[in-house]
Amino acid sequence: MSHYRLEIEGMGCSHCIRAVENALSELGADINNVQLGSADISFEGSESELKAALEDAGYELKSVAVL
């Protein structure tokens, strides 16, 4: 499993953090940390899967960095 830091646009409150956690969990990502504007995760899928899941939740994936 690879480890990533996601930069996410559109997060502004604790509800946003929970929504992002739920969207990533539904994909099967292991969530290490989510805070406003970013998430550290472990995931075996593709960047396009992450992008689609976050867009469905109302957020925009700005960048993905391998940790």
Number of other residues whose CB lies within 10 A of the CB of residue 53? 20
What domains are there in the chain, each with its CATH number? 2-66 (3.30.70.100)
Report the sign of the C-alpha dihedral through residues 4, 49, 12, 21, in that order. Answer: negative
Calculate the CA 17 to chain-centre distance. 9
Confidence at residue 30, expressed as pLDDT on a 0 to 100 scale: 98
User: Nearest 5°: CA angle at 55, between 52 and 59?
Assistant: 140
Indicate the pTM of the whole model: 0.94
Residue 1: pLDDT band (50, 70, 90) is confident
Pair 3, 66: CB distance under 8 Å: yes
Confidence at residue 37, expressed as pLDDT on a 0 to 100 scale: 98
Residue 7: pLDDT band (50, 70, 90) is very high
pLDDT, tens digit, 9 for 90 and up, residues 14-57: 999 999 999 999 999 999 999 999 999 999 999 999 999 999 99
What φ, ψ does residue 8 adopt, rounded to 5°? -125, 130
